[in-house]
Structure 1
């Protein structure tokens, strides 16, 4: 069966049923409730019951009152499936040779192509660190079902792995690390996307406002939606395209293969986040403000337009800023549909029909040219 990683999108159209009315949290009772282990040194007494069983139906995405330490029974079995599949997708950048990439970068790429490649790396490495911190320090803390947190723990690792991958490319190619890593601070068009993400994710990072407050809950939902659908679902998904355009011409194939593995991870991150948002809206009977959604898409498009204008101020063979922006709009429409929302850019055209194929890279290689464990890891993937 040919795997299509975007098939995970179908999952988000089947949200789980709403949770039953939450029951009070179960915890360790008072000393009087617990009783004593032994009433008499010579007369054994049964242990007192110190807590009551937990019902999985009491789990919720946020504001849950069930036991956060009790993994099963699952309320969200789909989250566990995401975790299992993510672990089957294990890889590291050291598995992929970049010897030809070094030659391509030094002797084959035009100045315009080097400009594109370097700035894509500069943006992505900053973004993945931001994603790692957002999930690890903010989102996980607010999730109240352990099966959600466990997949997100894997997601934190994967964002760190992606950052390692960009560093591996930067170091292998002999780029000036100080200069590359500072570009998001000094290049306005790259800084604009990072600054917008930081501002949009502020609603997730806040810890002082309880999500039982409806305004705070709406802000959290909008922030997490931005992270899943725009930051990872559009900006990351579309952000690898310039390097894939080089790969299609036989250039920078090692770096592009690594980005294919990253893209495969990001498709799952996006699908998981969208599923969580849909579950959250369903459980909390929450409706997103249409004006807030419109502003989110407009800001994201403006930032992506400025970024594309910078990295592609000189078009490269087979790729230009116009293609990049139209593809962003097309992917944004897809993410909106997955969320059950109106398309923000009606009529946008799929300018890069080959882009989805990049997420479907099979990890198997010639058995005699790779490690047995690598072959088995790739072969174990199941994408339904």
Structure 2
């Protein structure tokens, strides 16, 4: 999965909203509203002045939002093309063995883990879909950014379908599972934190020309790209992958592998966009505000891990879960270009990157052959 980050681990170059020697937005007609050709001109006007790719910006751009090319951000278009090569649906993955495993092979502690992972994820992906579709995409002023984000909105809906497919296939009580984020404090805490950071940024009247609002928006996007998707999702699949290593719930785990592939791209795109936004706007994030985000995220994740893994399962525990969260958080911080929140955190789950990778394309007419470590080689924490 780390290959997706190879190109954007390096600092993004500082970019300006106009070509050298030109005034910002000089390609737009006088009085023209951003992204609306001919706005503010006489009613009988039949054409508008041309715009240039250099007029594009991540936000607050003066280019034409309907004019896809030439690209100013060709990397965003590559994300879109790569995402479309990853198309899949949950119906292509058999769940019969998972039904047997859930009802006859999982321990009560393992069923508790499995159910609550699904309960958290069902709400999280809908929240991610709303964040991108209503809070982020609406404020982007370069169409190549919006095109990938439109694909991302679809993928979040696909992920929600996947969790529903797993819940329905196993015959779980849908109302009870979907309500856990409301009634279980440890799940609610994570969703509540995300909603709080999303609330103001989602407003259509949230003016990003105001530097304070711009800083708040950048922090919110950093949270959703680097923490919500880059840490909580990445870490959130780990308990299911721990079952998969023992040959349990393989259909669910395979679907999460496909979701993981999507989410790593979402995270990489968001981090690249945040860094480009900061460079374009010459914006410095308040390090204390960033540190508070990590602290709040860790506290919410720690409470969730304590509830999820109140009894450790073979090969996985709350302490391992939190150790991996801190390790991945440091990785995301480096990619974002901010200080590591947990210096010295170690990779306590070295198998996770390999386990979460799809090592080859699936032949959907055959069952994938996967190697699993035997239970005897695993340890109770």
TM-score strictly above 0.5:
yes
Q: 1:366: Cα distance to partner?
A: 4.6
Q: What corresponds to 2:376 in structure 1?
A: none
Asked if the contact 1:16/1:76 (under 8 Å) is kept, the reply is no
Residue deviations 1:219-265 (CA, integer Å, cap 9, x gap): 00000000000000000000000000000000000000000000000
Give the whole-Å Cα distance in 1 for the aligned partners of 2:200 and 2:170. 38
Q: What corresponds to 1:305 in structure 2?
A: 302
Q: Equivalent residues in 2 for 1:216-227 (5 A)?
A: 216-227=213-224
Give the whole-Å Cα distance in 2 for the aligned partners of 1:205 and 1:241. 30
Q: What corresponds to 1:144 in structure 2?
A: 141
1:84 equivalent in alignment to 2:95: no
Q: 1:367: Cα distance to partner?
A: 8.0
1:126 equivalent in alignment to 2:147: no
Q: What corresponds to 1:7 in structure 2?
A: 3
Q: Equivalent residues in 2 for 1:273-288 (5 A)?
A: 273-288=270-285
Q: 1:203: Cα distance to partner?
A: 3.9
Q: What corresponds to 1:329 in structure 2?
A: 326
1:74 equivalent in alignment to 2:85: no
Asked if the contact 2:102/2:170 (under 8 Å) is kept, the reply is yes
Q: What corresponds to 2:25 in structure 1?
A: 23
Give the whole-Å Cα distance in 2 for the aligned partners of 1:316 and 1:367. 31
Q: 1:368: Cα distance to partner?
A: 5.9
Asked if the contact 1:11/1:275 (under 8 Å) is kept, the reply is no
Asked if the contact 1:202/1:223 (under 8 Å) is kept, the reply is no
Q: What corresponds to 1:39 in structure 2?
A: none
Within the candidate set 189, 210, 218, 2:207 is matched to: 210
Give the whole-Å Cα distance in 1 for the aligned partners of 2:348 and 2:200. 33
Give the whole-Å Cα distance in 1 for the aligned partners of 2:364 and 2:283. 51
Give the whole-Å Cα distance in 2 for the aligned partners of 1:234 and 1:356. 13
Q: What corresponds to 1:38 in structure 2?
A: none
1:162 equivalent in alignment to 2:162: no
Q: What corresponds to 2:267 in structure 1?
A: 270
> Number of paired residues?
352
Q: What corresponds to 1:183 in structure 2?
A: 180
Normalising by structure 2, we get a TM-score of 0.90
Q: 2:5 is paired with a residue of what secondary structure?
A: helix
User: Which runs of 5 or more residues in structure 1 are unaligned?
Assistant: 35-47, 371-384
Q: 1:270: Cα distance to partner?
A: 0.2
Residue deviations 1:280-313 (CA, integer Å, cap 9, x gap): 0000000000110111000000000000000100
Q: What corresponds to 1:37 in structure 2?
A: none
Give the whole-Å Cα distance in 1 for the aligned partners of 2:362 and 2:292. 45
Change (3 A) 1:93 1:363: farther
The higher relative CO (CA closer than 8 Å, separation ≥ 6) is in 1
Q: 1:360: Cα distance to partner?
A: 2.5
Give the whole-Å Cα distance in 2 for the aligned partners of 1:197 and 1:298. 14
Asked if the contact 2:186/2:300 (under 8 Å) is kept, the reply is yes
Normalising by structure 1, we get a TM-score of 0.89
Give the whole-Å Cα distance in 2 for the aligned partners of 1:107 and 1:99. 12
Within the candidate set 282, 291, 296, 1:294 is matched to: 291
Which structure: larger Rg?
1
Give the whole-Å Cα distance in 2 for the aligned partners of 1:330 and 1:99. 35
Q: What corresponds to 2:114 in structure 1?
A: 117
Q: 1:354: Cα distance to partner?
A: 1.4
Residue deviations 1:319-362 (CA, integer Å, cap 9, x gap): 00000001000000000000111100000010111111234204
RMSD of Structure 2 on Structure 1 (CA): 1.5
Q: What corresponds to 1:369 in structure 2?
A: 366
Give the whole-Å Cα distance in 2 for the aligned partners of 1:308 and 1:150. 36
Residue deviations 1:54-106 (CA, integer Å, cap 9, x gap): 11011000000000000000000000000000000000000100110000000
